[in-house]
Structure 1
């Protein structure tokens, strides 16, 4: 019987060829190792972009929800009807009126629509009196069934009853607010209470904006159009920061006072220009994205 050493067969040669040498292993390690840090860096950038987009679009969604919620608000009553709702013998005289739900108080022109202004406020009827005090008017409102609360923003009181809201504060003769030591009169702003549907719509808009913004931010970096869209959201950032602050500050406002318009922050002086350009760039990027998607499907 032959007992010599058996020479390697074809099978053993295959196994030997499939096993990398030490030199080959070093070469593979050198080539593949840098890919991991790049992948982690790319993932971090996408995550940060998604977070930024989520909170930016969420604020826009909240502002849009507030705007929708205020649609259908009641028209202000006549001056005489408003005076009768406040009560008799107040000595109040109507000195100004803005019937819009929210609008710029002063007449706006092309420059205002381009860069905005700092007086985008709720519509109201402005009344003044020099024969009554803030406390006396507030006591009279409570006697008429109005719910009253202190309003430190204007060093006065706020009151609400049904669809209507009132602010009572020390003022100059023209009705502009001042501190009590310099007061020449007492002013009353008769306006609307915030509709109950506003905050639910704000919440829905915020949550939808979070989801949409995260989706946009996560996938935006994969296309040039996505980076353009990110640039548009950067332009909306000033209004976003103030809107987010207003949402937080709203919990500290008197329950009886009419809160500011959440969408009004995007229309503030200077910020409106960024808002306008940002929305235009966003619209263009979305249109280009849709055209690219259609072209890819038809190819």
Structure 2
């Protein structure tokens, strides 16, 4: 039972990450610079504007990215447009009154949501305001991650019920340990996705853990171990059945 549960959770997180990654390919566009300045116009002050439209991008816009495979980088975010004031602002009320009238649903902690976008405003220590608009997770990412999790849980649970010899058991246990960080990150991210659906907070990128530069080597080893166990123990035929014994009976009299 425990082995089935562990295998199910591991494969569920792996397929949920893959489904989420695929679903994020359907994400929409961010506001243009002109649209962003229109959103923040009620603040009544000048400011700097910068953006990163990539779906897989450095999560901290002030950090220096580390190039990674497939055009992505070491940490991942939904893309963003940021406006930061050059003067102190004392009241965010006009901003959120404006976005509410423009069709945004305003939540707590200076956040708002409109269709597939999330807005947040932060007042920094010197009174400057940073307004950020980022993508929300597309519905395809939500659906595919859930389907991937369910499929992985069922398949992993069934595979975990098989009896393994000692060596494949050791390999499978090592594979589960190597994939454990992704299991934790993806499962927590999947739960956070469901919370974000009914709130105004941003969505996590649950496949961030799978493609993390520092851990990708561990994940590759874990996947190779699990695939190796599958082909070595589950796909190869078992030992041949022993030949049947000759029927017992009275010996025929010798001539």
Structure 2 Cα separation of the partners of residues 92 and 225 of structure 1: 64
**2:139 equivalent in structure 1:** 196
Q: Residue 248 of structure 1: CA displacement?
A: 3.0
Assess, with a 3 A threshold, how the Cα gap between structure 1 residues 220 and 238 changes in structure 2: closer, same or farther. Answer: farther
For the pair 1:140 / 2:98, whether they are aligned, the reply is yes
- Give the corresponding residue for 2:80: 124
More displaced, 184-193 or 219-228? Answer: 219-228
More helix by share: 1
* Structure 2 partner of 1:41: none
Residue 218 of structure 1 and its aligned partner are, at CA, apart by 1.6
Query: How far apart are residue 135 of structure 1 and its match?
Result: 3.4
1:22-101 to structure 2, matched below 5 A, reads: 47-84=1-38, 86=39, 88-90=41-43, 91=45, 93-101=47-55
Superposition RMSD in Å:
3.2
Equivalent residue in structure 1 for 2:120, among 167, 188, 197: 167
Q: What secondary structure does 1:189 align onto?
A: strand
What is the deviation of 1:60?
A: 1.6
Q: Residues of 2 paired with 1:274 and 1:183: CA distance? A: 42
Structure 2: runs of 5+ lacking an equivalent: 241-255
Taking the aligned partners of 1:279 and 1:241, their CA distance within structure 2 comes to: 16
* Contact 2:88–2:127 under 8 Å retained in 1: no
Secondary structure of the equivalent of 2:12? helix
Distance 2:129 2:162 in 1: 56
The alignment status of 1:262 with 2:206, answered yes or no, reads: yes
SS at match of 1:194: coil
Greater radius of gyration (CA) = 1
- For 2:112, what is the secondary structure of its paired residue? strand
Q: 1:236 aligns with which of 157, 162, 179?
A: 179
| Distance in structure 1 (CA, Å) of the matches to 2:153 and 2:234 | 22
| Higher deviation after alignment, 128-137 or 232-241 | 128-137
Q: How many residues align?
A: 230
Contact 1:158 1:165 survives alignment (8 Å) = yes
What secondary structure, in the 3-state scheme, does the structure 2 residue paired with 1:74 have? Answer: coil
1:158 aligns with 2:111: yes
Higher RCO (CA-CA < 8 Å; seq separation 6+): 2
- Cα distance in structure 2, aligned partners of 1:146 and 1:183: 28
| Cα offset, 1:283, TM superposition | 4.2
Task: Give the TM-score of the pair, scaled to structure 1.
Answer: 0.65
Unmatched tracts of structure 1, length 5 or more: 1-46, 151-155, 172-181
Once the two structures are superposed, residues 157-198 of structure 1 have per-residue CA deviations (whole angstroms, 9 ceiling, x without a partner) of: 221222322111123xxxxxxxxxx24411111122222233
